[in-house]
Chains A and B, each alone.
Chain A
C-alpha cells in the first residue's frame, strides 16, 4: 500500500487545512509520503494530487525539483557529506573518498544490504564546523576519517537509533494548531478588508 495510509491521510488533511490554498501543502505532503514509504511512489503522487486538487503531473513536477525527494528506495541511512567551499577547504573530498572506501560504494550509490546511501551534498549551513555531514539530516561536525568510521559502525549496529530515525523521517515534532486557538485559513479571494487590529488607534 503506497498511497498514504489512513492515519497519514488524516494528517494530510490537517496540514492542508492550514493553508489558504490546498496546493501549498504539496511539499509537506510529499514529506509525509516519504516518511511512510522511505521514498516517493507514483501511487503517493496520485494520492497527493487528489488531496491538493492538482494533477499527478503537477505534483510529480514539484517532487522532482527538490533534492530531498527520492523516486527510488535509498538506504536506511542517507549520508550527505558537504563538499561546498568551507568544507572543501578542510578536507571534504578526502572524507568522501574515505566513506566510499569504508562502505565499498561510490558517492551516489547504496550498499547492497540497503543500509547506506552516500551522497556528495551542497552547503548544509554548518560552515564553521567543517567538514560536516548529515545522516538523515542529523549533523556531525568537524568529522575526521576515524570519527566517520566509528559513526558508520555505530549506525550499522543500531547504537544511534534513538537519535537518528530511518530515512524519510525529518522532523519528529509536528505543529499542531489547537482548534480553539487557531484563526483558520481563509481563501485569499474571500478577504477584502483590513484585519480588525489595523483600526486600532484610528478613532482616537
Chain B
C-alpha cells in the first residue's frame, strides 16, 4: 500500500512505525465502528484504570513534544497550572494555517475519534473540566467529521457525564474559527474563543497555563500532540521513547511540498530521519522534480529560516536544527529547485505574514507592510540598491541584533543559531522578516540581478527649482 484517494497527500510506503496515522489506510477510518474495531477508546479505558497522576506521569515520562511549532513537552505543560486553582480548561489548537503545514487537517478528517480520545485522556490527567476543540474556519470537512465523531461518542458514552461509568465527566465542545492565521498563536486562540478579535496577549508574565481562557488555567495543545495519547496509553512511555531519539522521541507528521517528485505527508521517525532521507528517499519524495538541482528548502513552515543543500544531512532534531540556524516548527518542508526565482518565492511568504498581522504591535503591523511592498517591487524588477539595505533596517526594528541563518560553503558563511530577539508579542512579525532575511543572506546576487538599472539624472550646478 502507499497512498489513498480518501487521504490526499498521505503516503505510508516503507516500514515505519505508525502512532497517529494507523487508520488512514481505511476509507471509513473516521467512523466510530472502524475506530472501535481497531482498538479505539482502549487508551481511555487504560487511563481510567489508573489515577490521573499516574496518567500524567506516563505522558511526562514519554516526553511528548508539542507538534504545533514550539516543541514544548505536553506533560510538562500540563504541570504548569497553579496549585488548587479551578476550573481548568483544555483548548485544542486545530487552527492549522502555517504555510506548508498539512497534517492536523488530515488527523481531524481521517481519525477524529483518535483526537477526541486524546482530549479525554488529557482532561482526565490534568483535571481539565471542559474541552474546546477549535478547528480552523475554512476546514469544512474537518468540522463535519469532528462533529459527527463527537455526536457518536456522546451517544456511546465516551464523552459527557460519568464516562464509561466512572467519576470522570467532561464535555468536549466543537468550536470553529473564521479565518485568521494569528489565531494559531495560543493566546490569540483564547481571545478568539472568548469572542474577540484574535490578538495575542502579552506573555510573560502569565502564560495560559496560569491565566488563560476566562482568566483560568488553560492548557492549549496541538491536534497532533493529543493524537499521540491513545497509542501512548495502550502502549507505554518506554515503547514510545524506544522510537526516535532521547531528545526527540516518537514519530511526527511532516508535509513535504514544492518541487519534489512526489510531494506528500509522512509519519516519520523523530530525531533520526534526515532532510536528505525525506527529499530523496525512495519511500518519501524520491528526489527533485525533472532531475533538477535543489536550490533551497524551508525546513519547518513559512516562519522558519531557509536551509541550503549544505544542511540536507541534518536530522529532524530540534536542537541540531536550531544550532544550524532554523527550526522544525510545524513539520512543513517546502522545496525550491534551481528554476525558482528566489525574490518572488520569498515575497509570497512576506506577503502572507504582512496580510496576517493582527495589527497589535507596531513593528509587525507597519514593518510587515513595508517589507511586503519593498519585496514586491524587488521581485517585479522595480527595486533599487537602497531597498536591500532598507529591508534589513526594517528587520532590525522587528528583530534587533543577529538573526538566525544557515551556513553556506558557497558563500563562506557560518550559521547563526536560534533564538533571536523580537519587539513584538508573537512570532508573526519576525516571520514576515524571516524569508526576507534568508533570501537576501543566501541569495543576494539574485536580488542584485533584478535591480533597476537606472542612469543617474545629471544635476547641473545653478539649476533653479522649476527647472528653467
Chain A positions within 8 Å of B, measured between CB atoms, are: 18-21, 23-28, 30-31, 52, 54, 58, 61-62, 65-69, 80, 83-86, 88-90, 122-130, 134, 136-139, 141, 170-178, 180-186, 188, 191-198, 200-202
Contacts and interface: CB of A to CB of B under 8 A. Distances in A.
Contact of B53 (A123, A185, A194, A201): A201
Contacts of B96: 125
A174 B147 contact: yes
A15 B142 CA distance: 19
A195 B127 contact: yes
A23 B174 CA distance: 15
Given A128-B265, A183-B160, A24 B100 contact: no
Contacts of B355: 122
Nearest to B155: A178
A67 B130 contact: no
B171 A185 contact: yes
B160 A27 contact: no
Given A66-B177, A200-B51, A123 B86 contact: no
Contact of B259 (A89, A122, A170): A89
Contact of A127 (B86, B102, B127, B213): B102
B345 A183 contact: no
Contact of B178 (A27, A123, A134): A27
B148 to A, nearest CB: 5
B263 A122 contact: no
B51 A20 contact: no
Interface stretch (B161-169, B268-276, B457-465): B161-169
Contact of B167 (A128, A129, A200): A200
A88 B345 contact: yes
Interface in B354-409: 355-356, 358
Contacts of A67: 137, 178-180
Interface residues of B, number: 89
B138 interface: yes
Given A85-B345, A175-B151, A188 B214 contact: yes
Contacts of B86: 191-195
Interface string B44-69: 00000011111000000000000000
- In order of increasing CB-CB distance, the 4 nearest A-B pairs are A201-B51, A67-B179, A26-B195, A66-B178
Nearest to A23: B195
Interface in B313-333: 332
A135 B9 CA distance: 19
Nearest to B182: A65
A134 B99 contact: no
A132 to B, nearest CB: 9
Contacts of B196: 23, 26, 58, 61-62
B18 interface: no
A183 B197 contact: no
B348 A182 contact: no
A58 B8 CA distance: 40
Interface stretch (B32-40, B250-258, B445-453): B250-258
B129 A19 contact: no
Nearest to B347: A88
A25 B263 CA distance: 38
B75 to A, nearest CB: 16
Interface centre among A85, A194, A201, by most chain B C-beta atoms within 10 angstroms, is A85
